[in-house]
Amino acid sequence: MGRVPAARPSVRVRAPAKVNLHLGVGPLRPDGYHELVNLFHAVDLVDEIIASPGDGLRVTVSGEGAADVPVDRRNLVWRAAELLADTADVPADARLDIHKAIPVAGGMAGGSADGAAALLACARLWNLDVGAAELAQLAARLGSDSNFALVGGTALGTGRGEVVAAVACVARLQWVFAIADHGVSAGAAYAELDRLRAAGMAPPPAGSVDALLAALAAGDLPRIAAGLVNDLQPATLSLAPALADTLKSGAAHGALAGLVSGSGPTCAFLCADAGAATLLAAGLEADGVCRTARVASGPAPGARVVG
Ligand code: ATP
């Protein structure tokens, strides 16, 4: 990794939220992680990071859930900038302004998306000649979802979720995301799933992802809807029982399918088309089963420089 000429005053990068179309959670491994089969799908609900010249690191956050996001080293944007600076042996000098649209602790990997965006933004700001493979390696060190945020589209992750291979999704999928007025920690959701499984209170794990992959490749919306599955959902519903009403409301307002996104508490609803999505979002809000509802579509591109 070296420096190349042509400095920039500031760099704007957008990175997408994800919804898990299939989240299969295997048993707890000896290293404390679960073996996952994770079909990620990026949607055009995006955070924006603006990197500009600075002296040391400074992070600001505005937008959706900003008050709940740390602005120090705990922020993945800060960690991404430090990691890149250490690796490239350059000073970690940047002001990083995050504008959030992705719900915080919402199961849509907003922090990971911001980390991926910050890698890209700082690489450009500092004129580093860093290739896609090197960025992917750095992203994998930030968190298991940052790698996907760089690639976007629809992709299969295995292991802890970090190995990502693109898969075909020919249809444009229309979504509504019901955003809750609280977060759920991913760690708490996995721990609750372990507890439910140990007590024999969890449904059987998700089966093979193959039928869903075939449906995505064929653009077959009813089969895609039938194949959406999330092993974490019973755990998240156990921690946040009111979400059952959110899922019921989505079904009543015409969703083809509804499920908890990742560890939740955001609920994702697949819709027949954009018009159906607009009606569904209005219905969820009118029923008072979420703080706000956002319409989005996928697949969306991965983190990219927009200015
Ligand atoms: P995942 O689905 O990957 O488990 P999530 O979408 O549920 O994640 P995030 O919004 O990514 O949750 O963030 C979880 C926690 O990480 C937040 O509560 C916050 O304290 C911390 N965090 C660190 N950096 C960020 C960031 N840039 N944006 C949001 N949260 C961040």
pLDDT for position 9:
86
pLDDT for position 27:
87
Q: pLDDT category, 7, cuts 50, 70, 90?
A: low
pLDDT for position 92:
97
Q: pLDDT category, 30, cuts 50, 70, 90?
A: confident
Of the residues 21, 69, 243, which should be mutated to test ligand 1's pocket, given the most ligand atoms within 8 Å of the CB? 69
pLDDT for position 86:
97
Report the pLDDT averaged over residues 61-84.
Answer: 97
User: Cα of 140 to ligand 1 centre, how many Å?
Assistant: 16
Q: What is the pLDDT of residues 34-55, one digit of tens each?
A: 889 999 999 999 999 999 999 9
CATH 3.30.230.10 residue window(s) in the chain: 2-167
18, 47, 100, 114: the catalytic one is 18
SS3 44: strand
pLDDT for position 2:
60
Instruction: Reply yes or no on domain 173-298 having CATH 3.30.70.890.
Output: yes
47, 114, 145, 231: the catalytic one is 145
Average pLDDT, the chain: 94
Q: What element of type H or E holds 33? A: none
pLDDT greater than 60 at residue 4: no
> Per the confidence metrics, is the pTM higher than 0.85?
yes
How many whole angstroms separate alpha carbon 22 and alpha carbon 238?
20
How many whole angstroms separate alpha carbon 256 and alpha carbon 243?
17
Report the pLDDT averaged over residues 135-146.
Answer: 89
pLDDT for position 84:
98
CATH 3.30.70.890 residue window(s) in the chain: 173-298
pLDDT for position 106:
92
pLDDT for position 17:
98
- Concatenate the DSSP letters of all residues of 113-162 into one string: HHHHHHHHHHHHHTTEE--HHHHHHHHHHH-TTHHHHHHBSEEEEETTTT
Residue nearest to atom 24 of ligand 1 (CA): 75
Is 210 catalytic? The answer is: no
Topology of domain 2-167 in CATH is Ribosomal Protein S5; domain 2 (3.30.230)
pLDDT for position 1:
65
